[in-house]
Structures are given as structure tokens and as C-alpha cells.
Amino acid sequence: MLFIVLISVILFLYVLLILGYVIGWFKTKEISQEIFCPKVSIIIAIRNEEECIVRLLKDLKSQIYTKDKLEVILVNDHSTDNTLSLLEESDLDNFQIINMKEGEFGKKNAISMAVSLASGDIILASDADCSFTPNWARIMVSYFANDHVKLVSGPVTFNRHDGVFQSFQSLEFLSLIVSGAGAIGIKNPIFCNGANMAYRKEVFLEVNNFRETNTVSGDDVFLLHSVKAKYSDSIVFAKKEDAIVTTSSEKNFSGFINQRKRWAAKSSEYKDIASIYASYLVFFTNLSFVFLIAMLFYDNSFFSFFALFFAIKFIVDFALLFPILKFFKREDLIKWILPFELFYSFYIILIIILSLTKKFEWKGRTHSK
């Protein structure tokens, strides 16, 4: 039947895509840490993060980096809680708070404002709910000892929590991290995570096109795509344990769905061919899986083909997930890979549909995209 041939082609292309990411992950090697200490500016946009501020400031203060070469710029995006007062109590060295003007809001605007004021040659970006090792800044910046490097994508993981819901979030998130890292490893970057990335200030000022996109998020992906378009072989992944940034997963199901809708919404403005191709291929692969399940209710003779499809997809996905779980020391999640495979196809289709038809909330604001 024609649809069997079509699904087989989709699966074949999916296998090639994922195996490419696996190869890219293993091609990414740890670099020797050179003594390299340029002026670096840590930039973080903040809105209503009073619960995180004390820990954030503590982690920033703990950074092992030459003090007169490190500045911290925190941009207050009209916080309505105690965030600003807590920031003003800080005794951080080389620390400044920027309050966004009335009529200006959002992470992309906050970053653009901070970069324009930064004195560092290297910009190191993260989020307020993140935790860092004392060597985080030093490790991320060390990659720029190579003049060819323009942008560094760093590893991010969720805080460790027990339970099915939290485990699913962690496993899905790490699948995205390893896919992004693997794509960088084969010199065809598709995305990174704004919770841990660094770039040259001059490159940001040259290629930044945040104002050309309507999505409220995407400060990470759209910058990566712009750098890739201009400097195709200048992006690396920081495969170092001390470069890991830890962030928070969503506490409840509604927050989780809302977050995923926000992530999916920005894909509608992708212009990078590799990112568009990967997005559609993943979607159609999962759609094929759901379609085959539906077909079983009408004709169980499809079971053999369905079993083969599932087995191949599971094996290739396992090959992708296993190394990233070892890297983050999250082998406890291995037992969830099989349930994840069964559930994920339905979930990803739902998220894509919702991202096209429903609004989402972010930082107390409602957005249509």
C-alpha cells in the first residue's frame, strides 16, 4: 500500500536524522582548558523571580573568574514582586541593574538592551531560575580562545526530582539538549538553550534580528540561526561537566503544557532549512506512529509493520538518549525511555496543535505567539 511506503520513507529519513545527531554528539570532544580571560558580561533578564534571587546572586558571586574582567548585568522586566528590592541589596562586584522602560518588555528586548550597554567582549547569557558551578563562566568563555568560535551552546538539565511527571520532563528536555548538541557536532546547528549560551558581543550586534520576529521567546534559537547563516562553522557545544547549568522543571501539568506551547510557537518563524526539516520530520514520524496505532483497530494485519516501526524508532531513540543520560549522570531515567516512546507521539501532536490554536502565558503576560 502507498501509505506503507510513505511511512517507511519517513522512518528511514528519521533514522538518518537521529543517527546523525548521535554521531555529532560523539564527535564533540572536551577541549583542553587554555588560560584565557577576556572581559565577559553575564546577562540575565528577570521578571518576578523573588524566590530565585538570593540563590542566583550567590551562584554569580561564586564564579571563579578575574573580578575586574567580569561584570553582571541583570535586567528587571517590570517585576511586580520583591525582585527589584532583593537585587538592590546585592553586594556583587561589577554589578548593575537595568530597569526596562515603560512600553518595552520581554526577554529579547531585555537582552538587546543589556548587550548594548555591556563592556565585555564575550556575552554569557542565562536565566534567573538557573544554578551554576563556580567554574561555569571560566569554562564557557574558554572556548573563545579559538578566534573562529562565535557562539557556544552549553549543557542544561533540570533539577533532579522523583516521580513520573518530573522524570518525563527531564527525559524530554535532555532529548532536546542532545539533539541540539549533536546537530552542532555535525556542523549543522538547529537550536540551543538560552539558559546557557555565550557569544561575542560584536557578532550579536552584527547579526541580531530579534526585531524581525514576532514571537515573544526565541532569543536563543533565532540568534543561533543568524550566526549560522553568517558564520556557518563557528558554533560549538561545551561538552564539559562544569559548564552544566541546572534549571527548574514545571511543577504542574498546566504549567508544563503552557511552556511547551511557548516553545513550539516560535518554530513557525524558523527560516533555517535544517531546523524546519527536522521539525517536520519529527512531527510526521510521530504522526505515522499514531496513525499505525489507529489502523490496528481496523485491521490487525498491520501489527507486524507497526511492531517493526516501533522497534526501529525505539532503538535509534535509545541510541540518542543513552549517552546524554550518562553525561548528566541521569541513568535513573533509562527505565522511562520505553514508556516515553509510547506516550510521546500523542503528546507532541497535541502540543503542535495547541501551539497553533491557543494562547499561552509567560511571566504573568498572555501571548498569542
Q: Encode pLDDT of 3-39 as tens digits.
A: 899 999 999 999 999 999 999 999 998 776 667 899 9
Residue where one domain finishes, among candidates 51, 74, 109: 109
Q: Do 95 and 210 reside in the same domain of the chain?
A: no
Q: In Å, what is the CA distance from 78 to each residue of 100, 207, 274?
A: 7, 27, 36
Q: Do 172 and 55 reside in the same domain of the chain?
A: no
Count of beta carbons in the 10 Å neighbourhood of residue 209:
12
Q: Do 4 and 47 reside in the same domain of the chain?
A: no
Q: Do 187 and 304 reside in the same domain of the chain?
A: yes
Q: Does residue 288 register a pLDDT over 90?
A: yes
As for how many domains the chain has, the answer is 2
- Residue 212: give the domain boundaries: 1-38+121-354
CA distance 22 to 14: 12
Q: Do 214 and 330 reside in the same domain of the chain?
A: yes
Over range 134-159, report the average pLDDT.
95
CA 125 to chain centre: 12
Question: Tell me, what's the pLDDT at 307?
Answer: 95
Residue 219 included in any domain: yes
Q: Does residue 111 register a pLDDT over 90?
A: yes
Q: Do 203 and 251 reside in the same domain of the chain?
A: yes
Answer whether 171's CB lies under 8 Å from 190's CB: no
Percent of the chain topping pLDDT 70:
91
Residue 369 included in any domain: no
Q: In Å, what is the CA distance from 256 to each residue of 171, 228, 251, 334, 347?
A: 14, 30, 8, 21, 12
Residue 367 included in any domain: no
- pLDDT tens, 173-231? 999 999 999 999 999 999 999 999 999 999 999 998 665 555 555 678 999 999 999 99
Q: Do 202 and 313 reside in the same domain of the chain?
A: yes
CA distance 11 to 18: 10
- pLDDT tens, 43-75? 999 999 999 999 999 999 999 999 999 999 999
Q: Which three cell numbers stand for residue 219?
A: 532569543
Residue where one domain finishes, among candidates 89, 109, 129: 109
Question: Tell me, what's the pLDDT at 258?
Answer: 77
Residue 361 included in any domain: no
Residue 277 included in any domain: yes
- pLDDT tens, 303-350? 999 999 999 999 999 999 999 999 999 999 999 999 999 889 998 888
Q: Do 96 and 11 reside in the same domain of the chain?
A: no
Which residues fall within 8 angstroms of residue 83, CB to CB, at 6 or more apart?
46, 47, 48, 49, 50, 53, 76
Amino acid type, 182: G
Q: Do 138 and 184 reside in the same domain of the chain?
A: yes
Q: What is the mean pLDDT of the chain?
A: 89
Task: Indicate the DSSP class of residue 148.
Answer: T
Nearest of 142, 132, 124 to residue 61 by alpha carbon: 132
Question: Tell me, what's the pLDDT at 253?
Answer: 81
Element (H, E) at 73: strand 70-76
Residue 30 included in any domain: yes
Q: Do 169 and 304 reside in the same domain of the chain?
A: yes
Answer whether 210's CB lies under 8 Å from 110's CB: no
Q: Do 137 and 213 reside in the same domain of the chain?
A: yes
Residue 365 included in any domain: no
The model's confidence at residue 93, banded by pLDDT at 50, 70 and 90, is confident
Residue 272 included in any domain: yes
CA distance 164 to 169: 9
- pLDDT tens, 249-259? 888 887 787 77
Over range 271-280, report the average pLDDT.
92
Over range 99-112, report the average pLDDT.
87
Burial class (CB in 10 A: 0-12, 13-18, 19+), 96: middle
Q: Does residue 159 register a pLDDT over 80?
A: yes
323, HSE (Cβ side, Cα atoms, 13 Å):
19
Q: For 84-98, 121-135, 292-306, 346-360, which range has the lowest pLDDT when averaged over its residues?
A: 346-360
Question: Tell me, what's the pLDDT at 265?
Answer: 66
Q: Do 138 and 154 reside in the same domain of the chain?
A: yes
Question: Tell me, what's the pLDDT at 365?
Answer: 55
